Amino acid sequence: MRTSIPTSLEGETATLRTNSFSVLAKILGRENAELVVQVLEEDLTVRRLCLASEISRLSRVGWKTALRAADDLPAHPEPRKLVRKAAKESVDSKDTESRWCGSYLLRHLASVVGR
């Protein structure tokens, strides 16, 4: 899927990069997984959109709430519920994006749910 790699890294808009990236994240292989991690760690706009998408899907909140939570995870309306669902995502062997986002959510919500 070589055409997705440049689009994922250099697409003109964040939406184009995110959509291309989400397709790439579901293709198995070490090279693809490494690229997914690279994009999520370096492209903050794509990271925000991916996290918001995961948050919205996992906790069934609206897009505006998901974007706010992506910017400030402890502000999520139900952080414990999100953590339970993120734990399952963090071991998804078929989707590197979900795995990375699930792990990110767990790491950044640990202090909230530990209280």
pLDDT above 90 (res 13): no
> What is the per-residue pLDDT across 52-81, written as a single tens digit (0 to 9) for each?
999 999 999 999 999 999 999 988 989 999
> What letter would DSSP give residue 12?
S
Number of C-beta neighbours around residue 38 at 10 A = 12
Mean model confidence pLDDT for the chain: 81
pLDDT above 80 (res 16): no
CA 76-38-96 angle, to 5 degrees, is 65
> What letter would DSSP give residue 74?
G
